[in-house]
């Protein structure tokens, strides 16, 4: 699959990450929106993802917790700003602890 990524210039503190993934859109969208699937891949090994609470709708929130090998949790909260099934997810992202 070959596609050109298009991004508009941004200002302020906006960070835009774009990845081209050679996989069906439906599977990629599901990997980001199905809590069971997200837990399988989200954290880099040896970290785990014991918690993935996702309310996937504009204005809905999420809580994703990564756990390090020592058992320390790193909670991460976000809000879904835009959800277009199999097309686009726009999500805020911030760690809840220092």
pLDDT at 52: 98
> For 47-53, what is the mean pLDDT?
98
Instruction: Tell me the β-bridge partners of 76.
Output: 64, 95
Average pLDDT, the chain: 89
Q: What is the pLDDT of residues 2-32, one digit of tens each?
A: 555 566 665 677 777 788 889 999 999 999 9
- Beta strand 88-91 pairing with 61-67: unpaired
Confidence label for 69 from pLDDT (cuts 50, 70 and 90): very high
> What domains appear along the chain, each with residue ranges and CATH number?
25-95 (3.30.530.20)
- Give Cα 19 distance to the centre of its chain: 12
| 48 phi and psi angles, rounded to 5 deg | -125, 170
* pLDDT at res. 90: 92
């Amino acid at each position: 699959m070959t596609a050109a990524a298009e991004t508009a210039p941004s200002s302020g503190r906006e960070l835009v990450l774009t990845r081209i993934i050679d996989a069906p859109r439906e599977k990629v969208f599901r990997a980001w929106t199905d809590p069971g699937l997200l837990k399988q891949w989200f954290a880099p090994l040896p970290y785990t993802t014991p918690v993935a609470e996702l309310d996937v709708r504009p204005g809905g929130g999420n809580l994703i917790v990564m756990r390090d090998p020592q058992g320390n949790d790193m909670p991460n909260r976000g809000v879904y700003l835009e959800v277009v099934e199999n097309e686009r997810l726009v999500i805020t992202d911030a760690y809840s602890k220092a």
